[in-house]
Structure 1
Amino acid sequence: MNLKQSIEEMIKQPDYEPMSVSDFQDALGLNSADSFRDLIKILVELEQSGLIERTRTDRYQRKQSNKTNSKLIKGTLSQNKKGFAFLRPEDDEMDDIFIPPTKINRALDGDTVIVEIQKSRGEHKGKIEGEVKSIEKHSVTQVVGTYSEAKHFGFVLPDDKRIMQDIFIPKGQNLGAVDGHKVLVQITKYADSTDNPEGHVSAILGHKNDPGVDILSIIYQHGIEIEFPDDVLQEAEEVPDVIEPSEIEGRRDLRDELTITIDGADAKDLDDAIAVKKLKNGNTELTVSIADVSYYVKEGSALDKEAYDRATSVYLVDRVIPMIPHRLSNGICSLNPEEDRLTLSCRMEINERGEVVKHEIFDSVIHSNYRMTYDAVNKIITDQDSEIRSQYKDLTPMLDLAQDLSNRLIHMRKRRGEIDFDINEAKVLVNDEGIPTEVLMRERGEGERLIESFMLAANETVAEHFNKLEVPFIYRVHEQPKSDRLRQFFDFITNFGIMIKGTGEDIHPTTLQSIQEEVEGRPEQMVISTMMLRSMQQAHYDDVNLGHFGLSAEYYTHFTSPIRRYPDLTVHRLIRKYLIENSMDKKEIRHWEETLPELAEHTSQRERRAIEAERDTDELKKAEYMIQHIGDEFEGIISSVANFGMFIELPNTIEGMVHIANMTDDYYHFDERQMALIGERQAKVFRIGDTVKVKVTHVDVEERMIDFQIVGMPLPKKTSSQRPAREKTIQAKTRGKSLDHTKSDRNGKGKKKKRKQRKGKNARKKDKQGNTHHKPFYKDKSVKKKSRRKKK
């Protein structure tokens, strides 16, 4: 059998899974350059013959007739606030399918739908176009929005602009809401071809202008519960405030060892403590002790069920929504100073190279000696502040040793290829009324790095221990980036003179690490780090150990934060079951084999929900903060470029947009390969990483958008399609305005179509499929191009 026949046989096997070129090489034992060329030639021939096709991840799968011809595809709808949507197919190897606004057919963002592919959009980056034929499952069950009263009914304008339909509220179903109230609506009837969705008001959050209602609306929009149920609070009340002597029996007593916590100044839930000492053999002993939350939160209890549902604490600009009640998180589970606390400890012996050569995992009791802050630790070990060092003279020798150990761990991780995404982060400070007063950069000093290094070491050690036991476990995984995303990133950095050899397949983290080293200290460093981060896959939880690409770690889990993360609480339960209770019988193993896959998926989803809520509140308050800076000038860096303009990031991480219509000194074209806007006449170039000086011209808090103007570049003359110039005041957009459509040329001139006045619940103009009229975004582009050609 020759090579081509062998490949054909492999592909025709019933259990064949899509394979990359390197997969074929490994499977067939092809090691020479000649055999590689033969392989590529055969794969091309088989692709041309129709036996196989190449996926977007550069893998070869059997040609599927229903992947190119007219057919039905199932997936999840991802809607854009501009009206169009994409179908994300269940088959991960398939490309997203573009859905024009007129073919969404009343589906909502997140719905599981069946889409019929109708034509290929090859002229638009090869995207396929389709139409929603049926809705299999609705994702949206409740909506947050602003209530408006009509004569015999009401309607709610959703805050989520991806929901393009108002919610009809029948008479008597508004819970007493009046115009301007922010409300929570439970959908009782989904839209059909003629009617809008229908629902009833289940909660009134307050008037849209009341302090705190803006954040509250985001919390409810993401479905995050604030209050704990009564049975959960009752269980929390029954947990004792002190430790009984009988509870210490059988635990290793670490109360005589010098132990400290290091946290932010405003932290109240202290769940990790450290102890460091030098051993006689020259190695260093690191003990990481974590609050034993699993001792108090029993599996299957009301506390546990609520913690599972929340899965994570949520940290917003003005509040923390905890995973477990404050009575536990700030009380008996918090490692407060000068108090005995029950813990689970990971003790590691670490050599001069930063390698863990020996470890133990056990239940323990500690007595924290000091509650240290990052600021104080940084003054001791970085600033060598004599006054602070004198104040903590009993502690400074251990902190000096801890800093040395931290540096060894950092160098060890760097040697193996860890990618340190040192991205700027900011914290928005608000007053009692929720008004932003300051935007501060988060510091990452030696104290922060020290704790990070010690927690990483403990997490890796625990993960490796249980992986080698070959028992069901939950891991924190970060898979290798997809080759197409990496290729795009490699193309992008060529604009900065950085060339990477290879295809993006099976790349080692050290390659990306070398890129970071290359751009360190350069103006484009932060932009390249951000673009690199965007090319990565998202870390998540999994019951299968897939390694952690970003850390270049073979084993990783989350063990160190059981107060605020449910996976960590689960890891503690597994430690208790497997190591402390020695419960590893078939029944126990089967229980976790059945439980962990769903648990990993659920907690990953909840984590994403929390991140989205945190991002939304940050963006909201950053926009609100910039109102007071309208008219002010700042220097920023171009962080993103698109065909409609460019985004500028200020040193405090606040981002705003310069619209292409306001770039009046030339006609600018978008060059996707260079990620740049290039002037047609003067060849002036604006590309990612460039520094520009901008002026704040407009802020839309509702849309969380900030508009910039390039200093020295005059704005175009005011037309009906442009927003009027504003002083330091803000007028929120109405829902109606956001749905108006403007037909404009390159410089924004044009005439706006007027929207007819609403007369009833179904008065908004719709097409025959029942959708609000929207022009596909790609058609606007062709109009602009034609109009510009005429001017020539």
Structure 2
Amino acid sequence: MAPHPAAGASLIGAIVGAMAKRSSRRNPNPRDRRQESQRPNPRSSGPGPQGKRGPRQSGRGGGQGISVSVDEQAVAEALAEAPGLVTASQLAELMGLTGDAPKGVSRALISLKETGKALELRPGKWASPGTGGEFPVVVETGATAEELCARFDDQRLLPIPKPHRMGARPGDTALAVVGDDGLALLTRLVSRGGRRLVGTLNFQYGRVTVVPDRRREGSLPVLRDEGEVLDRYRAGDRVVAMVVDDEHHGFAAVLERILDASDPEVADFEQVCLVHDLPGDFAPAVLAAAEALEADFDPAQRRDCRNDLVFTIDPDTAKDFDDAICLERLENGGWRLAVHIADVSHFVRPNSLIDAEAQFRGTSCYLVNRVIPMLPEHLSNGLCSLVPLEDRYVLSAFIDLDRRGQVRKVDLAEAIINSRQRLDYGQALAIIEGRDPGIELAEGIAESVQQSHELAQLLRRNREAKGALNLYGQEAAFTLDVEGNPIEVVQETSDVAHQLIEEFMLLANREVAAWLSDRVPAVVYRVHGEPDESRLAFFQELVTGYGLPPMAVTDRPSLQRVLKRLEKEPPASRLVLNFLLLRCFQKAQYSTDESLGHYALAFSHYCHFTSPIRRYPDLIDHRLVKFALGLDAYRDSETRPDYLEALAKRSSFLERRAQDAERELHAIKAARYLHTRLGDEFQGVVLSASGAGLHVHLVEVGMEALLPLREMGDDFYVFSRERLALIGRSTGRVLGVGTELQVQVVAVDIPRSDVTLAPAGGLRPARPKRRD
């Protein structure tokens, strides 16, 4: 489990401090170095400890015997402006110095290095620590116990060479730059932190090791008396271990306890929490602070919407209701849409104990049938949740639209509501389709849902007309028994009821982002970059090779045409091709950079505003709205761009951590489910091919499994790098991305979520004839 919130707070503080020493320019790619000029760090100049300037060196310039003075301030300023790594000679040239000046520059660089104002990232190669090339990383073990890697916020994992580790250990947080050779070079340790892992105990050749569940990590020797280990542990035990330094092995494992595998419900959840360092239970002080908050909903100073026809639509299992809507038809044929969002910022004030905890967690984490919430239950399911027939505080966006669905006016305000109806998606869909929802409806709800559906579809068509990309997707959800074993799989897809809420929330997020952009120094935007051109080119070849008409995929309109064409494909193929197209895109993230926009949504401004119960960036933007509204209680809200950018980066990291944990637990449950169906046949679609075999997406359970070459006995298959496919030497059969197969589950490793497949049917090896 993750440490106390103070650890998270210290990380934010350290990152903010590091960023505050730089200019406001940002570099999203660690490989790029700044080439523009930058204001020098005032600490790099001025008198030294003795009240004197740093050493001044002389050299000859231009062969004319002119003495050139080189001091540390000038060198530091030039280094900050240098494009990438430079040598002393190159830096002297940039400074316009010749002759023996490089020697003086070199001596100044060495002096600056001692004070941390110059970085020698490779022998003789220098950079400034203030050039924007440093990025926060988490240190992890590599393929062996001696190797270290740095995980960046974008989840890239790069090796750290020994000369640039700065004494870092697995679990530490540091700042790093990326060298020209693709290695991560640590420049500063931010915080220490141990890291736990889950693995299997192995006894071999008189050694005791832990084999981590993550295959990319090598086995670690156990630091413990062998007799003590033999007394308490057995080979094959699933254990929790702490990674520590070891002078003999580099890194080793200290055993903490056996992970109880008798209860899958607890074991699976605990394993994922440990591996991903997820937060545990709320501290008693945080719970007490939440319980002390009173349910006193005074309408004074707020817009009173309690008589409006407000309702919510959420999943049937939801308990935390972030958003509610109200739609009014105007006399001119247009609409007035009110999107009411839980006013979490009223209860969670900046720098409070609850706020520190929420910032530390960053997001709620949804783990199959469990939730690790961002806020204590008294808030998430109580005071903040927009439950029906109870007064609740909201921060609302009132949006006027004309009959074509174009926004004409936006008004933001604190309000109070009393929701008339709580609907789930199934009930809303029934109303839209004219069926009986199975519950008693408040007066006017059915008509309002129908009108909301009409407007939502108009908004969706408008988005598509402007280039928005609506990818097809479905999720496999498991029904678990009381012991945590999956017994049923249900496919969840987006229908028009989901689209109703989706379109209204997208509209509110877009309009709030645009509204804020004109009123505050910085906004925590939700940004999405353009897709990778090389990956798009490969996808274009894939689509053509799959039998679809040749189509360019160079811009949003062409991508839209591809998506429309894919709608005619069978669901399995459509799902996988959409998934492969998604791989061409960058991951959406949080940033204060207004220029980035959101590519997939085709929005120039977009933020997360509609889920403050479960996402910290939404809470930050709520505070910014109240600051912009001039509300007295929020005049001191944090608006510094560097601080908000640090929060944005941290929030992106915490979001990815939660997503990784959610995917891993889903894979574990899928493996448990498939273990009960060994020998059964499933529909699969090839995601990729390699020399090891085919990586197949199992449609029913939504996970990837390996069909190894050894199981494909109908031919001798060879991997083609040009076609990224396996080709049968005798038959010429091509098995590549998008190929549909019937496969059979033959082996399952539940802890590692590894599933091995065999062909079902045409690819089976011929059976030898029976001899009588």
With the shorter chain as reference, the TM-score category is 0.7 to 0.9
Cα separation, partners in 2 of 1:135 and 1:670, compared to 1, 3 Å:
farther
Q: Name the structure 2 match of 1:431.
A: 481
Quote the offset at 1:469 in angstroms. Answer: 2.2
Quote the offset at 1:396 in angstroms. Answer: 1.0
Quote the offset at 1:279 in angstroms. Answer: 0.4
Which of 187, 190, 194 lines up with 1:141 in the alignment? 194
Q: Quick one: distance in 2 between partners of 1:317 and 1:12?
A: 42
Asked if residue 555 in structure 1 is aligned to residue 599 in structure 2, the reply is no
Asked if residue 509 in structure 1 is aligned to residue 556 in structure 2, the reply is yes
Q: Name the structure 2 match of 1:15.
A: 36
Quote the offset at 1:216 in angstroms. Answer: 0.7
Q: Name the structure 2 match of 1:318.
A: 369
Q: Name the structure 2 match of 1:708.
A: 757
**3-state SS of 1:267 partner:** coil
Q: Name the structure 2 match of 1:372.
A: 423
State whether residues 427 and 437 of structure 2, in contact with CA within 8 Å, keep that contact through their aligned partners in structure 1: no
Quote the offset at 1:615 in angstroms. Answer: 0.3
Asked if residue 451 in structure 1 is aligned to residue 501 in structure 2, the reply is yes
Quote the offset at 1:713 in angstroms. Answer: 5.0
Q: Quick one: distance in 1 between partners of 2:720 and 2:647?
A: 44
Which of 572, 576, 588 lines up with 1:527 in the alignment? 576
Cα separation, partners in 2 of 1:500 and 1:98, compared to 1, 3 Å:
farther
Which of 668, 676, 680 lines up with 1:628 in the alignment? 676
State whether residues 668 and 677 of structure 1, in contact with CA within 8 Å, keep that contact through their aligned partners in structure 2: yes
Asked if residue 243 in structure 1 is aligned to residue 293 in structure 2, the reply is no
Cα separation, partners in 2 of 1:228 and 1:155, compared to 1, 3 Å:
farther
Report how many residues are paired: 640
Gaps of 5+ in 1: 1-10, 18-60, 119-127, 719-792
Matches within 5 A, 1:169-248: 169-170=223-224, 178-179=233-234, 183-187=239-243, 189-192=244-247, 194=249, 196-199=251-254, 201=256, 206-207=260-261, 211-240=265-294, 242-244=295-297, 247-248=298-299
State whether residues 747 and 757 of structure 2, in contact with CA within 8 Å, keep that contact through their aligned partners in structure 1: yes
**3-state SS of 1:629 partner:** coil
Matches within 5 A, 1:552-701: 552-581=602-631, 591-652=639-700, 653-701=702-750
Q: Which amino acid in the other structure matches residue 511 of structure 1?
A: S
Quote the offset at 1:678 in angstroms. Answer: 1.2
Cα separation, partners in 2 of 1:599 and 1:154, compared to 1, 3 Å:
same
Q: Name the structure 2 match of 1:360.
A: 411
State whether residues 705 and 754 of structure 2, in contact with CA within 8 Å, keep that contact through their aligned partners in structure 1: yes
1:104-125 superposed Cα distances (whole Å, 9 cap, x missing partner): 999869997999999xxxxxxx
Matches within 5 A, 1:79-158: 141-146=194-199, 156-158=210-212
1:56-115 superposed Cα distances (whole Å, 9 cap, x missing partner): xxxxx999899xx999899978877699999789999xx997899xxx999869997999
State whether residues 419 and 550 of structure 1, in contact with CA within 8 Å, keep that contact through their aligned partners in structure 2: yes
State whether residues 696 and 706 of structure 1, in contact with CA within 8 Å, keep that contact through their aligned partners in structure 2: yes
Matches within 5 A, 1:708-727: 708-712=757-761
Q: Quick one: distance in 1 between partners of 2:521 and 2:463?
A: 27
State whether residues 156 and 169 of structure 1, in contact with CA within 8 Å, keep that contact through their aligned partners in structure 2: no
1:9-28 superposed Cα distances (whole Å, 9 cap, x missing partner): xx9996299xxxxxxxxxxx
Cα separation, partners in 2 of 1:462 and 1:140, compared to 1, 3 Å:
same
* Stretch deviating more after TM superposition (344-353 or 204-213): 204-213
**3-state SS of 2:312 partner:** strand
Cα separation, partners in 2 of 1:233 and 1:117, compared to 1, 3 Å:
closer
Q: Name the structure 2 match of 1:287.
A: 338
Cα separation, partners in 2 of 1:568 and 1:435, compared to 1, 3 Å:
same
1:131-172 superposed Cα distances (whole Å, 9 cap, x missing partner): 999998998722232575999997644333333132534359
Cα separation, partners in 2 of 1:148 and 1:266, compared to 1, 3 Å:
same
State whether residues 642 and 675 of structure 1, in contact with CA within 8 Å, keep that contact through their aligned partners in structure 2: yes
State whether residues 83 and 162 of structure 1, in contact with CA within 8 Å, keep that contact through their aligned partners in structure 2: no
State whether residues 158 and 184 of structure 2, in contact with CA within 8 Å, keep that contact through their aligned partners in structure 1: no
Cα separation, partners in 2 of 1:131 and 1:605, compared to 1, 3 Å:
closer
Cα separation, partners in 2 of 1:70 and 1:183, compared to 1, 3 Å:
same
Q: Quick one: distance in 2 between partners of 1:700 and 1:678?
A: 28
Q: Which amino acid in the other structure matches residue 725 of structure 2?
A: A
Q: Name the structure 2 match of 1:163.
A: 217
Cα separation, partners in 2 of 1:314 and 1:639, compared to 1, 3 Å:
same
Quote the offset at 1:225 in angstroms. Answer: 1.4
Q: Name the structure 1 match of 2:58.
A: none
Aligned-residue sequence identity (percent) comes to: 29
Q: Which amino acid in the other structure matches residue 425 of structure 1?
A: E
Q: Quick one: distance in 2 between partners of 1:415 and 1:434?
A: 45
Cα separation, partners in 2 of 1:70 and 1:643, compared to 1, 3 Å:
farther
Q: Quick one: distance in 2 between partners of 1:700 and 1:617?
A: 14
Q: Name the structure 1 match of 2:97.
A: none
Q: Quick one: distance in 1 between partners of 2:304 and 2:606?
A: 27
Q: Quick one: distance in 1 between partners of 2:438 and 2:151?
A: 58
Quote the offset at 1:525 in angstroms. Answer: 2.4
Q: Name the structure 2 match of 1:788.
A: none
Q: Quick one: distance in 2 between partners of 1:701 and 1:217?
A: 12
Cα separation, partners in 2 of 1:553 and 1:84, compared to 1, 3 Å:
farther
1:530-570 superposed Cα distances (whole Å, 9 cap, x missing partner): 11100100000011222000101111000000100000111
State whether residues 144 and 218 of structure 2, in contact with CA within 8 Å, keep that contact through their aligned partners in structure 1: no
Quote the offset at 1:212 in angstroms. Answer: 1.7
Q: Which amino acid in the other structure matches residue 569 of structure 1?
A: L
Q: Quick one: distance in 1 between partners of 2:34 and 2:428?
A: 61
Cα separation, partners in 2 of 1:707 and 1:550, compared to 1, 3 Å:
same
* Stretch deviating more after TM superposition (78-87 or 417-426): 78-87
State whether residues 492 and 674 of structure 1, in contact with CA within 8 Å, keep that contact through their aligned partners in structure 2: no
TM-score normalized by the length of structure 1: 0.72
Matches within 5 A, 1:29-68: none
Q: Which amino acid in the other structure matches residue 609 of structure 2?
A: F
Q: Name the structure 2 match of 1:471.
A: 521
Q: Which amino acid in the other structure matches residue 291 of structure 2?
A: E
Cα separation, partners in 2 of 1:691 and 1:13, compared to 1, 3 Å:
closer
Cα separation, partners in 2 of 1:260 and 1:85, compared to 1, 3 Å:
farther
1:518-538 superposed Cα distances (whole Å, 9 cap, x missing partner): 222124322221111001000
Quote the offset at 1:388 in angstroms. Answer: 4.8
Cα separation, partners in 2 of 1:271 and 1:116, compared to 1, 3 Å:
closer
Quote the offset at 1:651 in angstroms. Answer: 3.1
Cα separation, partners in 2 of 1:303 and 1:276, compared to 1, 3 Å:
same
Cα separation, partners in 2 of 1:582 and 1:552, compared to 1, 3 Å:
farther
Q: Which amino acid in the other structure matches residue 353 of structure 1?
A: R
**3-state SS of 1:220 partner:** helix
State whether residues 633 and 696 of structure 1, in contact with CA within 8 Å, keep that contact through their aligned partners in structure 2: yes
Q: Quick one: distance in 1 between partners of 2:390 and 2:680?
A: 51
Q: Quick one: distance in 2 between partners of 1:350 and 1:405?
A: 10
**3-state SS of 2:758 partner:** strand
